[in-house]
Chain A
Amino acid sequence: MNSKVTNRIALSVIVLCAAAMAAVLISMLGYILVKGLSSISWHFLTTSASPFMPGGGIKDQLWNSFYVLFITMLLTVPIGVCGGIYLAEYAKPGKITSFIRTCVEVLASLPSIVVGMFGMLLFVNYFGFKYSVLSGALALTVFNLPVIVRVTEDGFRALPRHQKEGGLALGMTHWHTIKTILLPAAFPSILTGIILSAGRVFGESAALLFTAGLSTPDLNFENWNPLAPDSPLNLFRSAETLSVHIWSVNTGGIMPDVDTIANGSAAVLVICVLIFNLFARMLGKIINQKFSGK
């Protein structure tokens, strides 16, 4: 067999694999959207779920998903970015550093149901946070933190070394070089990583089953006092998120329109994750342009 034939075979195998992958993705996405889009309406998005009657919506679940996501990001982004900067810039290569890095990798690949059980033991029971937004966000922090650390470290390592040398050679301190040159240069890739991880957090269910709970108190969307028990902002109330809702409706829902609600919720979830991804790309591009001049 001559090399031209080999070349052609390799090309067709690769094209075939890519096509198969794209076909699976597109058909899955298409299936979810076709089944679900018909059940999405303004009414569906802005009505609270009803346990027995048909016509319930997902307003609270949608809000909870975003709120848990927001709290998780608030906890993970500052700590994760600092940890990533430490690993990329300050940690001296050695046993301790590589041990930390291994820990981060293991933590990132923990099965989420294990994180959920751990969260229940530690946050729900031991710290007494009960099933709450806070417990859920803390559990999600456990596996989102290493992702952010990783994204930040990779973002810094991908920068050319002469950028850092350039800053230092101009009489800037290490920290100032990081702050004004390296971090802005790495920012687009860090931001993209953060938003992509947000998509994962948004769709997470297993880790939230035992931490954020399977129910939501009647929320009063006019009461924004975070200490009130019926306030959407209350951190210590239970909060069923959208993906947990899909699971619970499918396994134990007794309303007559279970299928419609599950399909609609799934479609909303997928659309949100899709928006996250597109948003990540767009924002990355814009910020890159802004930081590097026009």
Chain B
Amino acid sequence: MIEMKNNIVSFTNNTVTQERPVQLSVEHVNIFYGENHAVKDVTIPIHEKSITALIGPSGCGKSTFLRTINRMNDLIPSARCEGTINYKEVNILNPKVDVVQLRKEIGMVFQQPNPFPKSISENIQLPLRFAGVRSKKVLKQVTEDCLKQVGLWDEVKDRLDRSATSLSGGQQQRLCIARALALKPDVILLDEPTSALDPVSSAKIEELLLELKNSYTIIIVTHNMQQAARIADYTAFFYQGELVEFGTTKTLFTTPEKKSTADYISGRFG
């Protein structure tokens, strides 16, 4: 069975030579929607400057968990959350935490590309200006740097004042990543960033993430196991709200400890 799996997935970039330091330490996190216990007692270390993939079938709580890390679940009135997520020695689930500041340090990219219905440059500069950057020169420079970082600069440099909604889906998603990078976050959360995109655009995003992990901590939710295998250093398998297994991607995919993990990654369910 394990040999078969190795044929399905190829490990191109799972070279975790040494354990990286832990950036986010998640301890006993429980998340509820009203009565519904959506995420159950999750404990997991998120290592710095690496990609951690959260996989599992639909409704397993992986997106809910991801949205808790930058407190986007605060928007849902019925959502409630227990436990601790330590980041820079602060429990970010503490209600007193300044979520605005938190979200500058822990950025997020969504499943559906969501550029603002404004010009391309404005999409990047708007959050920057709110963060206090006033100098036009700096704004221009950061716009260029971020667009270069996501490989969009050459495609859009002549039409920065055009509407961001005129870009293709893949370009829009890269713009959204660029926009998150502009704030110089430590962590980037991605919620199924390629599931609305065609394969070519998806491949570009994957390449980009592999480059970005040199400077950022990346957590990605994906329903695509091959994607997790291709890009992630660590993988966590969620099932019915529980964290079933967590480990380096290679271990999890080649020698899973739990039977349900093995079943899921070999395509028996999910």
A278 CB → nearest B CB, Å: 24
Stretch at the interface among A70-78, A110-118, A144-152, A164-172: A164-172
Q: Could you tell me the distance between the alpha carbons of A89 and B10 in the complex, rounded to whole angstroms?
A: 46
Q: Tell me the nearest residue of chain B to A159, going by C-beta.
A: B117
Q: Are B100 and A172 in contact (CB under 8 A)?
A: yes
Q: Are B110 and A162 in contact (CB under 8 A)?
A: yes
Q: Mark B120-147, 1 if CB is under 8 A from A, else 0.
A: 1010001100110000000000000000
Stretch at the interface among B89-97, B156-164, B209-217: B156-164
Q: Are A170 and B180 in contact (CB under 8 A)?
A: yes
Is B87 interfacial (CB 8 A cutoff)? no
Q: Are A292 and B100 in contact (CB under 8 A)?
A: no
Q: Mark A131-149, 1 if CB is under 8 A from B, else 0.
A: 0000000000000000000
Stretch at the interface among A173-181, A217-225, A228-236, A241-249: A173-181
**Chain B residues with CB under 8 A of A166:** 110, 114-116, 176
Q: Would A165 and B162 be within 8 Å (CB), given that A170-B103, A171-B103, A291-B118 are in contact?
A: no
Q: Tell me the nearest residue of chain A to B185, going by C-beta.
A: A171
Q: Are A165 and B75 in contact (CB under 8 A)?
A: yes
Is B72 interfacial (CB 8 A cutoff)? yes
Q: Are B162 and A294 in contact (CB under 8 A)?
A: yes
Q: Are B130 and A165 in contact (CB under 8 A)?
A: no
Q: Mark B71-110, 1 if CB is under 8 A from A, else 0.
A: 0100101000000000000000000000011111001101
Is A250 interfacial (CB 8 A cutoff)? no
Q: Could you tell me the distance between the alpha carbons of A171 and B70 in the complex, rounded to whole angstroms?
A: 10
Q: Would A93 and B77 be within 8 Å (CB), given that A162-B112, A169-B107, A170-B180 are in contact?
A: yes
Q: Would A293 and B162 be within 8 Å (CB), given that A160-B114, A165-B72, A172-B127 are in contact?
A: yes
Our pick among B119, B176, B180 for the contact of A293 (Cβ within 8 Å) is B119
Q: Mark B46-57, 1 if CB is under 8 A from A, else 0.
A: 000000000000
B144 CB → nearest A CB, Å: 18
Q: Tell me the nearest residue of chain A to B101, going by C-beta.
A: A171
Is B165 interfacial (CB 8 A cutoff)? yes
Is B183 interfacial (CB 8 A cutoff)? yes
Q: Would A169 and B116 be within 8 Å (CB), given that A292-B163, A293-B162, A294-B161 are in contact?
A: no
Q: Are A291 and B127 in contact (CB under 8 A)?
A: no
Q: Tell me the nearest residue of chain A to B164, going by C-beta.
A: A293
Q: Would A169 and B163 be within 8 Å (CB), given that A180-B126, A181-B116 are in contact?
A: no
Q: Could you tell me the distance between the alpha carbons of A291 and B108 in the complex, rounded to whole angstroms?
A: 24
* Cβ contacts A to B, 7 pairs, < 8 Å: A162-B114, A165-B110, A169-B103, A169-B180, A171-B104, A171-B127, A292-B165
Spell out B's residues near A (CB within 8 Å): 70, 72, 75, 77, 100-104, 107-108, 110, 112, 114-120, 122, 126-127, 130-131, 161-166, 176, 179-180, 183
* Top 10 A-B pairs, shortest CB-CB distance: A293-B163, A171-B104, A293-B119, A170-B127, A169-B108, A162-B114, A292-B117, A166-B114, A171-B103, A292-B163
